[in-house]
Each structure stands twice: as structure tokens, then as C-alpha cells.
Structure 1
Amino acid sequence: MNDTQLKDLKKEVKKRRTFAIISHPDAGKTTITEQLLLFGGAIRQAGTVKAKKTGKFAKSDWMEIEKQRGISVTSSVMQFDYQDKRINILDTPGHEDFSEDTYRTLMAVDAAVMVVDSGKGIEEQTKKLFKVCRMRGIPIFTFMNKIDRDGREPLDLIEELEEVLEIDAYPMNWPMGSGKTLLGLYDVFHNRIEVLRPDSHNHGERFISLTDEGEIEGDHPYQNESLYNQVLEDALLLKEAGNEFSREAIAKGELTPVFFGSALTNFGVQTFLETFLQFAPEPTDQDTEDEKVVSPTDEDFSGFIFKIQANMDPKHRDRIAFLRICSGRFERGIDVTLSREGKKMRLSNSTQFMAENRESVSDAVAGDIIGLYDTGNFQIGDTIYSGKDKIEFKDLPQFTPELFVRVEAKNVMKQKSFHKGINQLVQEGAIQLYKSYHTEDYIIGAVGQLQFEVFEHRMKNEYNSEVVMTSIGSRIARWIDPKQLDENMGSSRNMLVRDRFDQPLFLFENTFAMRWFSDKYPDVELTSLL
């Protein structure tokens, strides 16, 4: 790479902004994603997941079961340009049963946008996802959604945010009323008022500029509104008693800028996007297993697979591996090494995403998310690189399942499609596969019940294989060193199985059964993947 090419690479990397949108189910995450895509010109209209009568569905929910149930169960990737920035949004599943997919996605982004329902505040799933962001130390931006409905007091929401999530908050704007009384947003950061319904009072303009003291200049009908005067008091209180704004604290994930707005009515979303782009980080360094650091502007190409998805296009029954580019420049036909096997391969078939729409990509840089057509070469967590020196990025988080079912094909004549479907869904990380130690019966594990329902639906619709599932119930999975294993240790209370890598483990009925086992075999070490 010559000096001109390196300079161009650095310029392109600086434009990238890659972030995930996280939330509790029904907080409005998919709706705000659509509004962002609308601003980027990526879609012409925003459908909502609830609008089933019109047949309009969220553009980021492409899987058939998502459209039927009105929820996101997979992570979608969307890319668009806005204000000279190349934006990669990863819309994650809100449902807790699919948190494993979300956790892996959070490893592939440089920032997170947390959507909170202003009527409900901080909910359980939000806490879990937030902890992952804190663990990674990535910047977190908060969007308090649904202020067009009657909700909780803004001060209560900010206090709860700080107390429950243990992070400092800085309100970038403040709602003037809520629900039917909503007049607009008092924009603390930009020192202006964003008007909900521009009219003759301000010549149809969206914004009213404020004086240095934060008040409306001259005569204006708002000055007689009690809501406006209340907001002035709140704003003064925040400036005196609230946290100081700090770009450095945001970058470290110690301070979250808070934006109020309504994704459904598209109020406050554009201000959020434009302000977010000022402070969201460009692609950052990535750590490797041997404690080296890979810079986004390193000349050699590298990246890791954080997600695999089969049958995104039902017509072609394809399989896509999602790659986060960590360094260098991707060009179609590039020769790379698969770190896990030391295997050489050429990446000649790749794609960029706009939810269900895709287009071939010939050029991408660090920070971008691209899809590689996969014939079974890749696994989640794989590193690929183009240089001579081996690179192995750190492992992605794995989660021990808590629910287990035996599974078999309903029609024994369709064993081939049954095995193909299970193997592909396991490689995706949609479920985890185990086999009974002696009889080789299939047992699948999941974090939540909805995963089984999606598994059953996809096996039938994508692989033409109906399945019969028999619940084993909730179990505690613990691995054992094969050298310490005696096959007679297994019983009905601690079922002996193998994982997909043929490693032995026990599925304990409950904590009492696990303690009983440990008392009986005190020298045997049991380990969890957590």
C-alpha cells in the first residue's frame, strides 16, 4: 500500500460509525431504526411492526416469523450515508430469549444506542444488555422514546437511569410536556427549542433560537405557557446540579447523553442522529488473543465473524457469515487465511446489507460490516486476515443453555433435511446441540422457550422437516474433563451428554443434584462456559 492509498484508507475509516441499537422488547427500537434509515435515504417509508392490517412491516425484520409475531429475533445489519459519514446500524433482537445473538453483536460495534420506553423506564433486558456495553467500555447514547404518550416524569427517568445502571447521565434535551400536552423539546445542548408542530407563531420553522441565558428572545406565545416556564426551571436545575458535559467521559462509557423524543412520530430523531454523529467514535483498536493490538488503519486486512445466518433469501437457500472488518481494506477477490485452521481462501462473493435488501460489495474498510457467502467454512468467532503474521481476535462470549428438549424428525424418511437443518441452525448459534452419551439422541439447548419455537418454525419452513420435541426441562449444564470421566457417573438426575465438539458434560436436574454429585466425587472439577 503506497502513501496515497494509506491516506485514502485513513480518510475512509474516519467516516465510519458502527453502532448497535439495544432495548427491552416494545421500547421502539425497530421503529427508531427505520426513522434513521429514512433520513439516510435508505428507505422511502417507515412501516411499523404493529401495522399488520396494512401489510407494512419493519424493514429491518425480514424473517417470516418476525413479521408474523411483530418482534425481532435476529440481528439485522443496515448501512447508509448521512452527512459525509458511512453508518452501519445493527438492529438487535429485543427479546431476552435471543440475548446471545445480541451479546455477540455488541462485540462488533463501537457504540450502542439504548432505547428506553419513557412510560416504563429501565426494564430488565435493558439492564443485561447495558452491562455488556459497560464491560466493553463502549460509548452509550440513550433515547427516551414515546414522549408523545403520557409517561413518567423526565427527572424520575434520569434518576432511575443513573441509579439502576450506575452511569452518569447528561440530558441533551428536555420535553415540554408529554402526550397530548407535548409542545416540543427544550434542546439544552443546541440552546434552542424544537417545536412539535411548527405553525404561524414561528413561521413554520422547526426551531426557536434562545438567548445565552436559555430563554426565548422577544415576544412569543410560549412565554405564557406554564410548560415552558417549568422547563426553564428544570433546565436551570440541571445546569446547576447536574453532571458536566464531557466528551472524554462519553468516549469511556462513563457518561450517557440522554435524548427525549418519539420514534413513531419522528420527533427529535433527526436531532438525535446529527448530535450522535458528533460524538460517536470512529472504528477503534481491537485486542488479539496474544495481547497485540490491531489498528483500523493497519495496512493488512483482518476481521472476525460474529454471526451466521442461513436462508436470508428463501429463493436461494444461501448462508451468510457476517464479518466485522477490523483493519485494512476489503476488496473482492482478496486472499485471506482462516486463523482457526490456517486455511487459505479467496473472498470473491460478498455483500452489503440493507435489511432484506443486499447488493454486492467490492470495497469496504475497517468498521464496515459485510456478508460473506459461506458454504460451511466459517464458525462464529472465526478470525480471517490477509497478512503474513497470524491474527486471532479474542473469543466471543458463549452462554450455557438453561432449557433442553429431545428432538427427532417427525418423518423418518426426511432424515437428510432434518440433519442439514439442525447442523446449519447450530452453526448459526440459533440453538446449541448435544447428543446423549450412548444412544446419540439429539438434544438441543436454548436460553429461552421462544428459541425452540423459532427453531421448530424454521425447520419446517426452511428445511421442510417437521420435528417432534420432548421437554427435558430446565437443567444446569456443567462440563467435565474427559480424563476424569467415568461413564457410570451419569444418572437420571445428572444426564451425561456430549456437546457438538464431542466434549462430555452433565445436565443436572437442579442445584441439589449438582451438590450431591460434587460431594460424591470431590476430585472431579465441573466447569461452566459462562
Structure 2
Amino acid sequence: MSTAPRTQHADPSKEAARRRTFAVISHPDAGKSTLTEALALHAKVISEAGAVHGKAGRRGVVSDWLEMEQARGISITSAALQFEYDDCVINLLDTPGHADFSEDTYRVLAAVDSAVMLLDAAKGLEPQTLKLFDVCRHRDIPVITFINKWDRPGREALQLCDEISERIGLRPMPLTWPVGEAGHFRGVLDRESGEFVGYERSDGGAHLARENRLTADEAASEVGAEWDRAVEESELLTESGGDLDTEAFHAAVATPVLFGSAVRNFGVGQLLDLLVRLAPQPAARPDTRGTPRALDAPFSAFVFKVQTGMDPAHRDRVAFARVCSGEFERGMVATHAATGKPFATKYAQHMFGQQRDTVETAYPGDVVGLVNATALGVGDTLYEGKPAVEFPGIPSFAPEHFAVARTSDPGRAKQFRRGVEQLAQEGVIQVLHSEVRGEGAPVLAAVGPMQFDVVTQRMESEFRAPIKLERLPYQVVRLVGDRNQSAALRTHNSEVLERRDGVTLAVFTDNIALRSLVRLNPDLDLRHLVADAE
């Protein structure tokens, strides 16, 4: 049903064909936020790029908007950017690069159709990159590889391609090949056209780099030996099966590879063109029964992220929902699958970093920000019409760090409880409770310790409820299959905690403590926490 008469709009299937929804994943410091900004610059939705700290007086990157992100120069939250390019609608989801926030990245990867894997030319595949790629592989997400920072000293191009093949099992298919070794970047060989693409440096990378194209004969004459070497290596790639195979890319067994420098805007245009040309469009998404939801079925979407504090003036709460089918129209009333209750969509916005525009319609692949969506949580489904539909939820990671949180100001106890609950709903932190500690001393559980820094900063700045954290010595967590066994699990080396979704967990100081307790109580029903990210 809808709050207003519906008008005829575009065909959802045709609109979906125009969508490209992807995430940028990388190890910290590989240049992910810089690449995100460079893509927006090439699409001409911003006129000037700035460094993470607002270099030379320019504004900072559009996707890093939290105070901690700007201060530390890293991405902590995921961000959604939407813009049009070459008659396509680009939905770009920037993700946290730091390993401590991999759970947030995992949620974003549940909402995309492809990913851009960013590698540092000097470092290649790093631990966090490998972990994120494993999630892509598990979900069969096609990956495009962009080897960044070729304007700085680094490793050989063939060596980096070999590493992709050997360590993650993807067949590299370079579409461009560097002319000049890392640190002496002359340009690239466009392997499809056979042309040389040279770049002219812009003023600190703030504006688009001008491209100069030469034929193979012109490049041989003007560039010389470095061109000849690039041509020879390109021929070797062809002989070894390194040419483009679109079906292998879509099957997530091969990866197109591009070389460039995001900070210099070298090669970014080719990446954007490649996404438009080859990246998969939205497809029918399976529901909890495994039945694909047709793109032209009535509206449906799932929430993959909840965020507060994006508008400091209002402290509102935004639920980011990926449209899966049909047409979203602002003002429509959908059904919240978890409760069966109606959900009004009066306040719906498209995001461009922290900037917002009211959205009237959206189609499969689009990301819609639903404002003041207090009833929605991560993994929830919205749908219109009948029959009901629900998409699979998004599992939590097993936490590895624990701390007791207490308010520093007893007079702010109400704000303390509200803030902790809000951050738990967002997925910033997992909140656990114990009968022994009481409601005033929840246990915060995190994948990485920097999550505690985010909680501390946001509790003080957003909720005006400063907190004290007492780190706990636990390192191992298990799911308790039988709650009646809880008494046996409370020892000086272990504790029983309840998660907000009703799950009972047992935490242990280490594996020795776990094995000792199991040896004494062989009937204990303890299970590993298994997320499908693993």
C-alpha cells in the first residue's frame, strides 16, 4: 500500500541494468578513500580532490566524515556514494580498511554485486586484503583489481600478477600494463587497443590528469625501450591465458587488472569505464527459502548498515537499505518482515558521503538511507505486497576483545544506557550482559580493539555520556548450547554472558582454560561461533 496515488515509473528490470553497485576493499593505507574520491572526480560530481586531511586547504575526502576518521586518516565506517556516469547509476560503497572494522566491511559486501580490490604496488596482497577477498570468494563476488601507487617505487608487475594467481587463486587478466617500472610511471599499454596512454601530472592530484594517447608505432618512437618491454610482457600474458574473459570474471574465477595511481588520478578513468562496461548489474537475490526474488517483483530491500551522528545538528539515525526488487517510492508504506508491522518511508535520502538529497524513487541496486528508522536493525527486510519475503540475515563475527563499560557520570545513567543500546543496534559493538555484573556494567565485545576507541569517542561526543572501560582478559568465546549448564561455566577463568539477541555465550581467558573445564565437564555443550564470513 502507499500513502499517495502511485504514478507510472520506469521498469525496475531496465533500471537495474543501469546500476553498478560495488565496494572498494583493501588493506589499510592502500589508498582506498583516495581512490573513492578520484572516482567521484572522474565522474565530475566533485570539482576538486583533497587529501584525507584536507591538503592545501582543500576539503577532505567525501567518504571519511567521522571526526576520528579525519583525525587518524583512516576509514572507520562504511560510506555510500551515488552518482551518474555514462548513463549508468554508480552506487559506490567505501569500506573500513582497518582490520578492527572488518565486520562492517562484511556487511557492506552483503549489499554489492562486485568489488574493486585495491593493492599497494610495493606491498601486494596483505593480510587484511586476503581476509576480505575470502569473503568475496565465499559470496562469489566478482573482483576487479586496481594496483595502486605505481608512481612510487614498488615491485615488478609480473611478480604482483603471479602473487594474485598463487595466493588467492584468481587468474589475473591485465587490461592495462605499466610502461615504466614502479616509481618511474610513464603510462600504460592499453592491451585491448594496443595504444600507449600517457599521463600528465596535475597539481597535486587535485584535478583530472590529462591523458595522451599514442599509436604503437608512435610509442615505440617516443617512449623507446620501456614501451618495447611492456609490449613483450603483454605478449607473454596473452600466451599464458592472461587476456580478458568476461565469463570467468563474472564467475569470480578471474580478475581484470588495472595499474595506476589514485592520488595522481592515473588510470582511474579506465577503472570507471571498466565498471560500467563489465561489472555485473543487480540480479535476483535469494530469500531465506532460497527462492530468487525477481527484479520486477514488488519492492523489497534489506538493511545492511545503521548509522547515527551523520548529521551533528540532529543526531538522527539512518538505516542503509539495498533495494533488491521493484521500485522504491518515497512515502510508500512497506512491511517490516521481522515484526510484520508497517514501516513508513517519508524520510528517504540518497547519500553522497555525509551530504544528502531526498530520494523520490530507487531501483534494484540502489542504496537508500531511511532516516529516523529506529525500528530497523542490521539484516532486517522491508517489502511491499504479498506474499511476504525475507532475506537472509547478516551474521556477527566472533569477538576477540572484551571490556566492561561503566558511566563516568552517574547522573548520565539514562544517556549511558541509550547510547550503548544505540551503538549495539548499529553493530558498532556487541553488547553482552551478565547476571553477576548487572545492567549498569555491560560487557562490550569487539573484533578489534579500535572499536573500543570509537565507542568511547561517540559516547562522549554524541550522547554526552563519557564512559570508563575495564579490559577483560578473555580471548576465547563459545556458544552455549544448553543454558542449564551455565553454572558450571562460571569459574575464575570463564564467564557466561547473554547477547542482546538472546544467545548465551561463554568466554574464557585462553584455550587452556577452555580445555581444562571441558575435561572436568565432558558433557558441556559448547559450540564455535560460525559466521558465513569464515
TM > 0.5 between the two? Answer: yes
Report the CA distance between 1:55 and its aligned residue.
6.2
Q: Shift in Å at residue 484 of structure 1?
A: 3.3
Instruction: Indicate yes or no: 2:120 matched with 1:117.
Output: yes
Deviations 1:79-137 (A, max 9, x none): 00000000000000000000000001000000000010001111000000001111111
Q: Give, in angstroms, the shift of residue 144 of structure 1.
A: 0.2
8 Å Cα contact 2:474-2:507 kept in structure 1: no
Give the corresponding residue for 2:514.
Answer: 514
Q: Is residue 2:183 matched to residue 1:185?
A: no
Q: Does residue 206 of the first structure (1) align with residue 211 of the second (2)?
A: yes
Q: TM-score, normalised to structure 1's length? A: 0.94
User: What are the within-5 Å matches in structure 2 for residues 146-161 of structure 1?
Assistant: 146-161=149-164
1:216 paired to 2:217 = yes
- Matching residue of 2:362: 364
For structure 2, which runs of at least 5 residues remain unmatched after alignment?
2-6, 202-208
Q: Is the 8 A contact 2:175 2:244 kept in 1?
A: no
Deviations 1:236-294 (A, max 9, x none): 11111233421111111111000000100101110121122110011012111112111
**Counterpart position of 1:129:** 132
Answer yes or no: is the 8 Å Cα contact 1:482–1:503 preserved in 2: no
Q: Deviations over 1:13-35 (max 9, x none)?
A: 11000000000001011111101
3-state secondary structure, aligned to 2:197: strand
Question: What SS class does the counterpart of residue 182 from structure 1 fall into?
Answer: coil
Alignment partners' CA distance in 2, 1:127 and 1:317: 36
Distance 1:359 1:208 in 2: 38
Which residue in the other structure is 2:431 paired with? 433
Could you tell me which residue of structure 2 aligns to residue 472 of structure 1? 472
Q: What 5-or-longer segments of structure 1 have no aligned partner? A: 199-203
Partner of 1:232: 231
Contact 2:121–2:182 (CA under 8 A) maintained in structure 1:
no
**1:201 alignment partner in structure 2:** none
SS of the residue 2:247 aligns to: helix
CA distance 1:497–1:206, shift in 2 (3 Å):
closer
Moved more, 471-480 or 24-33: 471-480
Q: Deviations along 1:44-77, whole A, 9 cap, x unmatched?
A: 2111114466363211101111111111000000
Deviation at 1:483, TM superposition (A): 4.5
Alignment of 1:258-277 (within 5 A): 258-277=257-276
Matches within 5 A, 1:39-438: 39-51=42-54, 54=57, 56-179=59-182, 181-197=184-200, 206-210=211-215, 215-216=216-217, 220-222=221-223, 225-298=224-297, 300-438=298-436
Distance in 1 (CA, whole Å) between partners of 2:219 and 2:471 is 70
Go from structure 1 to structure 2 and tell me whether the alpha carbon gap of 1:218 and 1:277 turns closer, same or farther (over 3 Å shift): closer
CA contact (8 A) 2:175 2:243 kept: no
Seq. identity, %: 39
Amino acid in the other structure paired with 2:313: K
Task: After TM superposition, give the deviation of residue 218 of structure 1 in Å.
Answer: 9.1
Q: Give how far 1:529 is off.
A: 2.7
Residue of structure 1 equivalent to 2:24: 21
String of CA shifts for 1:406-431, please: whole Å, max 9, x gaps: 11001111101111111100100000
Residues 343-399 of structure 1: CA deviation (Å, up to 9, x unaligned): 122211111000010011111011000011134201110011002111111121310
- Could you tell which deviates more after superposition, 394-403 or 117-126? 394-403
Q: More deviation in 351-360 or 438-447?
A: 438-447
Q: Aligned partner of 2:289: which letter?
A: D
CA distance in 2 between partners of 1:171 and 1:66 (Å): 33
SS in 2 for 1:485: helix
**Aligned residue for 1:495?**
495
Write the distance in 1 (CA, Å) between the matches of 2:380 and 2:226.
54
2:204 is aligned to none
Tell me the TM-score normalized by structure 2. Answer: 0.93
Distance 1:220 1:55, change over 3 A: closer
- Is contact 1:301-1:385 (8 Å) kept? yes
RMSD: 2.0
* 1:147–1:50 CA distance, 2 compared to 1 (3 A): farther
- In the aligned structure 1, how far is the partner of 2:282 from the partner of 2:220? 47
Distance 1:349 1:487 in 2: 48
Secondary structure of the structure 2 residue equivalent to 1:473: coil
Distance 1:499 1:219 in 2: 65
Deviation at 1:179, TM superposition (A): 5.0
CA contact (8 A) 2:27 2:129 kept: yes
Is 1:484–1:524's contact at 8 Å kept on the other side of the alignment?
no
Distance, in Å, in 2 between the alignment partners of 1:113 and 1:121 is 14
Deviations 1:122-179 (A, max 9, x none): 1000000001111111110000000111110000000011111111111111111135
Contact 1:208 1:216 in 2 (8 A): no
Equivalent residue for 1:443? Answer: 443
- Give the letter aligned to residue 239 of structure 1: T
